[in-house]
Structure 1
Amino acid sequence: MEDTAAPQPSDTNDPDGNEPPATGAEEHTGGRSISTYARPALIAGVVIAVICAGLLIVIFALDSFNAAAYSVTGKSVNDATDEARDIRDLYSGVRAGGITGLVISGVVAVAAAVVLYLNRGSAAGRTGDDGEDYDLDDLRGE
């Protein structure tokens, strides 16, 4: 690849040296759009959903173990006694929090995925790529 001193086509468009007019994507860079936050929201939503699902699996296993250990003595967890009710309600708060977290993180992940899907074609204009490519010869200084 040879470097020449000849003017490039982009240099001859405006002989006065003025900047080219801004496009719509460049004018909108002052504020951040919702698609800027969509990818981190998608990642966070999926990670939190996986953690909540794991938490619910552990809670189910602990509930099953407690019910099995309680029924060894011949009692049932479904009895109307205070002890059986305490065993049933032992993990109810964590279970409700896990389900709530799972639902909220699922909604956030789906909403972020929809935003990313709808804006999938417009991301190319905002990358800041000036179109200049470098190859191995340029990197070696040849």
Structure 2
Amino acid sequence: MEDTAAPQPSDINNPDGNDSRVPGAEEHPAGRSISTYARPALIAGAVIAVVCIGLLIVIFALDSFNAAAYSVTGKSVNDATEEARDIRELYSGVRAGGITGLVISGVVAVAAAVVLYLNRGSAAGRAEDDGDDYDLDDLRGE
């Protein structure tokens, strides 16, 4: 490693040089807490739930259209015929998958929201944060 005049990361985190701890160890705990993953899980759960709701709406519209088109000929989708049963079961797999995805994503979103709510005041601030706020005039140097 080259010797430069610029301060090294270990010099910045440990200016007096007598501490043998790993630099930045107090800033980053060894394990991540569950609240670290709660916000992305909430976003993903909400997005997947919205997509599943849209999918179910489209499936409902297609089912209605197929039933209307089939009944134009005077037949009913509630008949006991093989053709009517095929029309009724046409989108059953997609419907079951959409409902399953909606339930799972809803549970994930609710669980993430509960975790975020319970940990709302326990966010640890940085050690160098002194609580000062800066406005636009401070940033411009005025």
Fold in common (TM above 0.5): yes
Do 2:27 and 2:126's aligned partners in 1 also have CA atoms closer than 8 Å? no
Structure 2: unaligned runs, 5 residues or longer: 1-15, 20-25
Tell me by how many angstroms 1:140 deviates.
3.9
Distance in 2 between residues matched to 1:135 and 1:75, nearest whole Å: 72
Superposition deviation, residue 28 in structure 1: 6.9
Aligned to 1:5: none
Aligned equivalent of 1:90: 90
Q: Which has the higher helix share?
A: 1
**What is the Cα deviation at residue 139 of structure 1?**
3.3
Seq. identity, %? 88
Deviations 1:2-29 (A, max 9, x none): xxxxxxxxxxxxxx8977xxxxxx4871
- 1:86-106 per-residue CA deviation (whole Å, 9 max, x = no partner) reads 100100000000000000000
* Corresponding residue for residue 131 of structure 1: 130
| 1:76 is the counterpart of 2:71 | no
What secondary structure is seen at the aligned counterpart in 1 of 2:29?
Answer: helix
Q: Which residue of 1 aligns with 2:8?
A: none
| Separation in 1, partners of 2:100, 2:128 | 42
Taking the aligned partners of 2:127 and 2:54, their CA distance within structure 1 comes to 40
* Distance change >3 Å, CA 51–CA 38, structure 1 → 2: same
Distance 1:137 1:106, change over 3 A: closer
Distance in 1, matches of 2:106 and 2:74, equals 41
Shift of 1:138: 5.1
Name the CA distance, whole Å, in 2 between partners of 1:79 and 1:48. Answer: 36
Aligned position for 1:39: 39
The TM-score normalised by the length of structure 1 is: 0.74
3-state DSSP of counterpart to 1:80: coil
What are the within-5 Å matches in structure 2 for residues 52-71 of structure 1? 52-71=52-71
Q: Structure 1: where are the runs of 5+ without partners?
A: 1-15, 20-25
Assess, with a 3 A threshold, how the Cα gap between structure 1 residues 137 and 50 changes in structure 2: closer, same or farther: closer
* SS of aligned partner of 2:130: coil
Q: Which residue of 2 aligns with 1:113?
A: 113
In the alignment, what sits opposite 2:9?
none
